[in-house]
């Protein structure tokens, strides 16, 4: 089991009307299931943010994420609907460090809203990693918050990434 602590750094800024929020962290991946869980939760969290934006009239410029390890890179992206995944050819066959980044550019969000959404995504993601692999994290961002609105899947295992755009709620082709 893994019990390392992972520091998440988050930054946000306003550029004209665009709110730009980014976050990054590293994660020790001792077995492929860690990456599978991570990618599934990233996709589910991005879907949840898409739904939030749709509800609030916020325009998603883009929401992107990457995971890199050794010479491999997986990218996830959405502009408000389905999640696109590129570059997933292999899972690591030996322990490695995953470098994870998230970047969001949105329009029409009030100050702090997008930051809160991204924090919620990360918190939910680490909840899943903590439950399955005892991986914990710390955030450098000032406002931790109640992320209960980020719905959690009850996974026993992780398979393919769900990118259907139907939010983080349970639905037809659930994993595991």
Partner 1 sequence: MRILLLGGFLGSGKTSILLQLAKHIISKEGKSGSTTVMIIENEIGDVSVDDKLLISQGLAVRDLFSGCACCTSGGDLLMDIQKIKDEINPKWIIIEATGVAYPRQIKESIEMYFHIPVKILCVADAKRWKRLRRAMSQLIEAQLELADCILLNKVDLVSEEEADAVLADIRTFNENAVLHKTTGILPVDEAVWEAIV
Q: Which is nearer to partner 1, 91 or 107 (CB)?
A: 107
Determine, following the binding rule CB under 8 A, whether residue 39 of this chain makes contact with partner 1: no
Task: Please name the residues in contact with 98: beta carbons below 8 A apart, sequence gap of 6 or more.
Answer: 26, 27, 28, 29, 34, 35, 38, 67, 68, 69
Q: What is the largest CA-CA distance in the chain?
A: 46
Q: Which residues make Cβ contacts (< 8 Å) with residue 3, sequence separation at least 6? A: 134, 135, 136
* Binding flag, residue 22, partner 1 (CB under 8 A): yes
Q: Is residue 165 a contact point for partner 1 (CB under 8 A)?
A: no
Total of residues contacting partner 1 (CB under 8 A): 34
7 vs 169, beta carbon nearer partner 1: 7
Site string for partner 1, 58-87 (x = CB under 8 A): -xxxx-xxx-x--xxx-x-x-xx-----xx
Between vectors from CA 120 to CA 84 and to CA 104, what angle results, nearest 5°? Answer: 45
Tell me if 116 contacts partner 1 by CB under 8 A.
Answer: no
Rounded to whole angstroms, the Cα distance separating 50 from 70 reads 30
Q: Which of 20, 56, 130, 164 binds partner 1 (CB under 8 A)?
A: 20
Length of the chain counted residue by residue = 176
Which chain residues interact with partner 1 by CB under 8 A? 11, 13, 15-18, 20-24, 59-62, 64-66, 68, 71-73, 75, 77, 79-80, 86-87, 101-103, 105, 107-108
């Amino acid at each position: 089991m893994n019990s390392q602590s992972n520091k998440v750094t988050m930054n946000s800024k306003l550029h004209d009307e665009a709110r730009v929020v980014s976050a990054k962290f590293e994660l020790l991946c001792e077995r492929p299931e860690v990456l599978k869980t991570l990618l599934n939760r990233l996709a589910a969290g991005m879907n949840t943010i898409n739904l939030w934006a749709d509800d609030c009239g916020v325009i998603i410029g883009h929401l992107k994420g990457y995971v890199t390890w050794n010479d491999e890179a997986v990218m996830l992206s959405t502009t408000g609907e389905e999640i696109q995944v590129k570059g997933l050819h292999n899972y690591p066959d030996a322990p490695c460090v995953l470098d994870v980044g998230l970047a969001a550019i949105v329009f029409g969000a009030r100050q702090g809203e997008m930051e809160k959404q991204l924090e919620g995504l990360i918190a939910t993601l680490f909840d899943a990693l903590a439950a399955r692999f005892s991986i914990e994290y710390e955030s450098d961002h000032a406002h931790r918050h109640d992320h209960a609105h980020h719905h959690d899947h009850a996974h026993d295992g992780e398979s393919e990434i769900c990118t259907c755009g139907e939010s983080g709620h349970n639905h037809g082709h659930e994993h595991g």
